[in-house]
Amino acid sequence: MQLPAHAIAGKEKLRAFRGAQRLALVRTLLLSIALAATLHAPPVHAEAATAAQSAAFLEQLRADAETLIKAGEAEAALELVAAHEPDNVGNPDYDYLLGTTALAAGRNTVAVHALERVVLVQPSHAGAYLDLAIAHYRLGEFDAADGILKHIEEHFDPPPALRKDIADVRGRIARARLTQAWQLELGAFAGHTSNANYGLAVSSLPLTLDGLPVSLLLDPSFRPRADNFAELRGSALRSLDLGGGERADVYAALRTRSHGNESAQDQRDIVASGVWRRPLAWRDLDRASVFAGALLRSLSFDSRSIQIAQVSGGLRTSAGRCQLSARADYEHRFYGSAGQADAAIPWLGAGADCAQGALQYGAQQRFGHDFALGSRAGGNTLRAETQAYLRWQAAPQLQFGALLFYAYGGDAEPYSAILADGARRRVDRFGQKLDATWVPGSDPKSPWAIVIEIENISDRSNIGLSSLDVTQFQIGLIYRKF
């Protein structure tokens, strides 16, 4: 039924009246919100005062850092600036001060992280780009450095002084590419170990014979014997720039140890490895890289030997001040005359390596399944390894390090019918290592350094044959050539 005209007009007036009511209500709400924001917001002059205080603080911090750097205390300057990082990270003025101070202290990884934050917030900061290129150059990342220099030339109009600096950095990159980087290290050490023969931590073994418990007293020759030793070390690392952002590192090392009395326990450890890396640009992983590597190792104790072959691959990316990695490894172990212990081990792992001021720290975790290739006691073994490290540059000529290590091994089958009532073996290894490196003389860049190391390893197992303790101390002189 069609409504009369006056009814239609009445409805239109009602709609208009209700619309006006809603509009008035919205205006009232908006006015209330604006009034509340005005009442609770800090005064404009307060914000200006806070900004002025922040600028004055950074200016004083910059002056203090420059004073320390001019006095030859660049590491102390970095420690001073980095102490304020938690409260100022993300402030481009602070991050630029942190980056340039880290460059002065030779802490190039710290510099890269700080300067990258600057150019993300202030993409027009040409000076930050140049310093970032220098940091990449010092890390041997020549393509990254060269790309940044090209960015400066293409997106800025550098004044003559900056163009001179760009040409200088580009010249250093060209010379470095021609020579490639060799790092050599030689060392001679003297030390003492509490367990040169890797004797057992127990003096007797509980056995089960014909269902009866029996305690077997071990001959003293199975117990730990302390001894002094002399150790020689040598290593070489060569980094290659393959172009297009690709890099390769080739590494070789040799370590020999000779004991004063336990000559049957003399050791020789040889390692050769290589790693290839390539930048990966995919979605949000523009700062990531893929890597692949291979390793060969030969470890011998008198007539006994272990050979290890390993291939690996994974992904690495940056997150804040850390580098995160995920990897997969395949490891093959050959035990020479004890071939029944040969094994194949696939591993999966992840880790993080971080830098903050004078500190470097990180942790790695990996899990593996140790497949027995022979008829070894216990059959297959599940393995897990965790380690965490910390390095502290306490002074330009003094560095401390700490390493904590834990490893688990659990057999799938009983180890022996007469040991621990035929239980499956479990081994928990706990390791701790402390070291200090001191560069004598007045030049912190001297190739000579004195190193002190203290290490402890404890294996705990429900099978006494797998329990041992080793503590060792050594001091030595190393020569490093970069």
Nearest C-alpha neighbor of 245 from the set 275, 277, 286: 277
Cα–Cα distance for residue pair 198/179, rounded to 1 Å: 45
**92 has which bridge partners?**
none
DSSP state, residue 419: B
**Cβ-contact 220, 199 below 8 angstroms:** no
**Cβ-contact 193, 226 below 8 angstroms:** yes
Helix (H, G, I), strand (E, B) or coil at 203: coil
Cα–Cα distance for residue pair 123/155, rounded to 1 Å: 10
Axis-axis angle for helices 126-138, 142-155 (nearest 10): 160
**Cβ-contact 429, 407 below 8 angstroms:** yes
**Cβ-contact 442, 419 below 8 angstroms:** no
CA dihedral sign, ordered 113, 173, 105, 388? positive
Task: Using CB atoms within 10 Å of the CB of residue 65, give its burial: 0 to 12 exposed, 13 to 18 middle, 19+ buried.
Answer: buried
Cα–Cα distance for residue pair 232/252, rounded to 1 Å: 14
Q: What is the reported pTM?
A: 0.65
Fold identical between 44-179 and 181-481? no
Query: Which class is domain 44-179?
Result: mainly alpha
Residue by residue, pLDDT tens for the chain (482 residues) are: 333 333 333 433 334 334 444 334 334 433 343 334 444 444 444 444 555 567 888 888 999 999 998 888 888 899 999 988 888 888 989 999 999 999 998 888 889 999 999 999 888 888 899 899 889 888 877 778 888 888 888 888 888 888 888 888 887 777 666 555 678 999 999 999 999 988 888 888 888 787 788 888 888 888 999 999 999 999 999 888 776 678 899 999 999 999 999 988 999 999 999 999 988 766 555 568 899 999 999 999 867 889 999 999 999 988 878 889 999 999 999 988 877 889 999 999 999 999 887 889 999 999 999 999 988 888 999 999 999 999 998 988 899 999 999 999 999 999 888 887 888 999 999 999 999 999 998 888 889 999 999 999 999 999 888 899 999 999 999 999 86
Cα–Cα distance for residue pair 196/469, rounded to 1 Å: 10
* Distance (Å) of CA 420 to CA 207, 389, 423, 465: 7, 36, 5, 11
Residue 118 token pair: 């600057």
Nearest C-alpha neighbor of 231 from the set 192, 283, 289: 192
Residue/partner pairs of 462-466 with CB below 8 Å, 24 or more apart:
462/420, 462/423, 462/425, 462/426, 463/415, 463/416, 463/419, 463/420, 463/423, 463/425, 463/427, 464/200, 464/201, 464/202, 464/204, 464/205, 464/206, 464/419, 465/200, 465/205, 465/419, 466/425, 466/427
Could you state, in order of their start, the residue ranges of all structural domains in the chain?
A: 44-179, 181-481
Residue 10 token pair: 């009445």
Which residues does 235 contact at the CB level (< 8 Å), separation at least 6?
Answer: 184, 185, 251, 252, 253, 254
Compute the C-alpha angle 405/296/407, nearest 5°.
20
Report the topology of domain 181-481.
Porin (2.40.160)
| Rg over CA atoms, the chain | 32
What pLDDT, on the 0 to 100 scale, is given for residue 178?
Answer: 56
What pLDDT, on the 0 to 100 scale, is given for residue 402?
Answer: 98
What pLDDT, on the 0 to 100 scale, is given for residue 283?
Answer: 54
Which residues does 423 contact at the CB level (< 8 Å), separation at least 6?
Answer: 414, 415, 462, 463
